[in-house]
Chains A and B, each alone.
Chain A
Amino acid sequence: MNRREFLNKILKVTGLTVYHPYVAKEESVPFRSTGNSVNRKVWEIYKKRKETVSQKLEDTYAILVDLNKCIGCRRCEWACNEWNKNPNKPIKEFEKSRFEKNSVFNEIRRTTAGQFTVVNRFFDEKTGKPVYVKIQCMHCLDPACVSACFVGAFTKTPEGAVIYNPDACVGCRYCLIACPFDIPAYEYFDPFTPQVTKCTMCFDRIVEGEVPACVAICSADALKFGKRKELLELAHKIIEDNPDKYVPYVYGEHDFGGTNWLYISPVPFEKLGFPMGYNETPAKFTRNFLFAVKVLEILAAPPLVYLAYKSLSDKSKTGGKNEDK
């Protein structure tokens, strides 16, 4: 053990270390916030639009991901970082991963405070070919995060994007717990003004009539942007036309109440880390609970008021304060 190691050890024991063994894997910029500015930018746009633009839209926007076409170039990750001003590296670094033996693909990653989208690699058991899966916020139709937040910091916009108000968030991180896709991430290394971060569906682009940054850069035609209804039809048509290439399932059509990101895939979704088995929003369960609590509390109130009243009137009969002694 040389001096430096020794010092590090001391620092670690006293908790004075700046390097955290586990989190460092996720976040490489300890002691600083990831400098998220896009949350606030998007929220301001939303607030302004709420006043000026009519909020009635025919249908929400959506993105269809065709996992058969994705080549794992990770350019979408780069473009996302670039547009949202997240920590970034040269695009070459991203592109070369799929040719390397030791790359980020060796482990399954998740979104973090500085990465709103990541591409993971799985293998098709039958053909042995890699299947790349881009993940990001699914922009659920009835999102668990919106329902879970106790200050209402999340909003589902009429455009379909689920966005976040950094001025309301208290930092309880219940949204991280609630999201079935484990998408929201927290700026644990920002001591004073940490935020929850996640994909905004490039709300600031789509309101300008542009497609999201990842869609714009994807040259493999794996990402399609459009109206949700049309994309759903398209997805079903693609599956119908190529029954041997796709499993007959459009992920996100009904899952967890439906999402604005839709996926079609050559392998069953449960093999790709998608949570399965729930076709309703998980928010339903907590809603039912809240309703039940209210009912029970209302039912309990009259007898309790009666008891309290009775107890007090007994007391005054027996001469007040002695009773409590």
Chain B
Amino acid sequence: MKTNSWFREKILLGQDFKDYIAGLLTPWNLIVGIILILGIYALGYRILFGFGPATNLTNEYPWGLWKTLNILAEIPLSAPGLAIGTAVYLFKVKDYKMFARPAVLASLLGYVFGVLTLIFDLGRYDRVLYPFVLFWGLESVLFLTAWHFFLYILICFVEWFPAFFEWVGAERARNLFAKLGVWATALGVIITGGHQAALGALFLIIPTKLHPLWYSSLLPVFFLVSAVFAGIAVFIVQATITYKVYRNQLVNFNYKEFHRRLLSLSKILVVVLVAYLLLKLLDLAHYNKWKYLFTPYGYWYLVELIGFVVIPIITLIIGIKAKWVKWVQLSAFWVILGLILNRFNVGLIAYRWYIPLSQKYWPTWMEVAFSLSMITWAIVVYKFIIKRMPILKH
């Protein structure tokens, strides 16, 4: 009986099992359910029949949507957890304390589900532990990336455990992990920088296969800096949504204070965006790439750079000056789209730009379904946890 009521209190939030299930039947959840089911179907199909029938991956395009969206884009977008964690736990920035736990949780889930996607993107997912145990390709950037992912997920767990044990009611474990968390954060700073840059460095080895406008010896720096600004942008958007949706969970939530913090964060966002823009211009000038600008790929490059870097800089500055929080939040969203676009450009569009358009990669519906379902899972689990564990109100 006792466990039963525990289950009821902690998992079902005090409802009856029947009521709980009935409460789940909303139109929104229906869509979520369909995505998840299609994703499971796609995964099953990929496992049973292989990449050939399930995906559009070819020898020309060995990396498709799963690597681009769920790793190249999702990993930088999951970065904020650690940045905020560092600010709060290492530098004692009290202002952002209330944000730390949701950010860490989002980060953890982003990585876990990104890596799960990656595992099924391996031809031999059964060997996923090989690079950790059996065979070490020490010269490979991918090796560094794999190890860093692994360590980072561990770190996120350590940082998330205090909330978890608080929820379970294990006081001692909670305190232990709260202490460990500080060390984990310190290690995490190193790890994050390393693998965000490494994702860009993966492409350093193909100077002839990536369009010169995107190929640069600065690729790792670009990836790192863009991960920073995207992280801040995600943070702004995530905080906005979370605090809107879960307003009822928060007592004495001070909106003025919240908006003031968002505005001051977006100042940092502008600074990083400007730094990124300057680096991009330096890259254009140093390698004298101007001549590529007036080609179809050049126009596309300008769309990315002007549309998704310059414009948000301008709108953000306007927003900060006028203290329009909505405007800032929308700009942050725009910045996130820009990062996704950039990763797609590097990973797919500018990759082997010289092959005819007809042979370019285009994902199958199953690739799309699996990709989206993994992101959906992350959101579902995030919601599940945030409703139950002391993430927001602590």
Contacts and interface: CB of A to CB of B under 8 A. Distances in A.
Nearest to B187: A304
B204 A289 contact: yes
A194 interface: yes
B206 A282 contact: yes
Interface in B45-86: 45, 47-60, 62-63
Interface string B141-178: 11110100000000000000010000000000011001
A62 interface: no
A16 to B, nearest CB: 8
Contacts of B247: none
Contacts of B141: 148, 286, 289-290
B185 interface: yes
B205 A193 contact: no
A96 interface: no
Interface in B204-239: 204-209, 217, 220
B190 A275 contact: no
B189 A300 contact: yes
B193 interface: yes
Given A20-B53, A193-B124, A151 B201 contact: no
B319 to A, nearest CB: 33
Interface string A282-293: 110111011001
Contact of A311 (B92, B124, B208): B92
B208 A180 contact: yes
A307 B140 contact: no
Interface size, A (range): 35 or more
A190 B46 CA distance: 11
A304 B90 contact: yes
A174 B53 contact: no
Nearest to B122: A171
A184 B137 CA distance: 18
Interface string A1-45: 000000000000001011010110011001100000000000000
A174 B206 CA distance: 11
Interface string A148-179: 11111100000000000000111111101110
Interface stretch (B11-19, B128-136, B379-387): B128-136
A282 B50 contact: no
A129 interface: no
Contacts of A174: 140, 142, 202
Contacts of A221: none
A314 B134 CA distance: 42
Contacts of B352: 182
Contact of A188 (B50, B194, B201): B50
A147 B205 contact: yes
Nearest to A33: B50
A15 to B, nearest CB: 5
15 contacts: A20-B56, A23-B58, A150-B137, A169-B123, A170-B124, A172-B123, A172-B142, A177-B205, A180-B209, A182-B209, A186-B57, A193-B124, A194-B123, A285-B217, A307-B186
